[in-house]
Amino acid sequence: MQSARVASFPIQAPGLRAAFHLGDTWTLTWIVIGIDAIWLIAGGWSMAWRDVAVAASAVAAFMAPLAIGRYRRDLRIRSTLRAAALLIAFQAAAATLSYLVVSTNAALIDAQLAAADRALGFDWLALNVWLIGHQHVQATLRLAYCSGLLQLVFVVLFLGFSARPARLEEFMRLFIMATLLVVLLSGLFPAAGAWKHYAIEGQFDLSSLSHFELLRDGRMREIPLSRMQGLISVPSLHAAMAVLLAYAMRRTVLFPLFAALNLAMLASTPVDGGHYLVDLLAGVASAVSLIALDRRRRARPVQPGTAMPTCNREGAPS
């Protein structure tokens, strides 16, 4: 096995930087896992260990092919598998953290959020009634809202296998930061959501939010990784994802499709996601702010003489 040759020159290849910077997002993920573990143990929580084993096995399954040299040297395969493993590990850790945050039982601010909507001239109930009268529009928006997870998986696979490791690394970094920001802010501004606030029954499956009260009143002390629910109201993670997914596909042939699809997902978020308008605005603002900060950070000049491993023609460290 050859040792890595190190050359002293400015780092100018974004695709190569990505191969080394993905470790930063893994560090964040391990920090979240550590926080989860401490909180779970200190609070006397339990977990369905079968679910933990399934998640760990999935991560291992994606990382295992990288033990084979020809896969590890293939930039497309390497970046895709690492990102997929990271996505699974982080999603499990972040979902667990979101449940622990809900369990703090902080005072809800739904009344204030609804008042903010009214101050902006937005009538949630009127929009809901309008959609009921326009079933084709409602069905289209609902499909767009439900596309979030599929889009997330597709973006990782597309960017990885189309040899865009820098863009993939950027997307994973922004997605992880946005998710953590949303979870943190949801603890500072806890809310049950518009479905519960407006007592909409029958039209929506409120059982999809059944863990909310159980966590808040202490009756639920187990983290069910295989049955997690989306319990965050503000900021809207779907709204933040809509911005990040479209941004990740910029300057690709698929951008117009993703722009249209995620505009529809944004439009669907208040009713199909049970969010206030201010939830949506906060989610969009969070994503846009993170993008701006990330671009500013990357625009800083790199000091000459930064060491960087040289690479072969496939873009793999030699």
Q: Which residues of the chain have pLDDT under 70?
A: 1-22, 200-203, 302-318
At 300 the pLDDT is 79
Tell me how many domains the chain contains: 1
78-106 confidence digits (pLDDT tens) = 999 999 999 999 999 999 999 999 999 99
- Residue 315 belongs to a domain: no
Taking the CA atoms of 196, 202, 205 and 206 in sequence, report the sign of the dihedral they define: positive
- Residue 96 belongs to a domain: yes
At 10 the pLDDT is 38
Query: Cα(257)–Cα(244) distance, rounded to whole angstroms?
Result: 14
- Residue 30 belongs to a domain: yes
- Residue 127 belongs to a domain: yes
- Two tokens at 109? 């601010």
At 202 the pLDDT is 54
Residue numbers of the domain that contains 168? 8-301
3-state secondary structure of 2: coil
At 310 the pLDDT is 42
The residue among 281, 302, 287, 314 whose CA lies nearest residue 119 is 281
- Residue 202 belongs to a domain: yes
C-alpha distances (whole Å) from 253 to each of 6, 156, 175 are: 36, 16, 22
Query: Cα(255)–Cα(247) distance, rounded to whole angstroms?
Result: 8
21-74 confidence digits (pLDDT tens) = 567 899 999 999 999 999 999 999 999 889 999 999 999 999 999 999 999 999
pTM value is: 0.86
Which runs of consecutive H residues, i.e. helices, occur in the chain? 14-43, 49-63, 69-72, 75-102, 110-119, 124-132, 135-146, 148-161, 165-188, 194-197, 211-216, 237-248, 255-272, 277-299
3-state secondary structure of 7: strand
Taking the CA atoms of 89, 90, 93 and 99 in sequence, report the sign of the dihedral they define: negative
- Residue 312 belongs to a domain: no
C-alpha distances (whole Å) from 137 to each of 41, 65, 198, 203 are: 47, 44, 22, 16
- Residue 90 belongs to a domain: yes
At 305 the pLDDT is 52
HSE (side-chain half, CA atoms, 13 Å) at 230: 20
- Residue 313 belongs to a domain: no
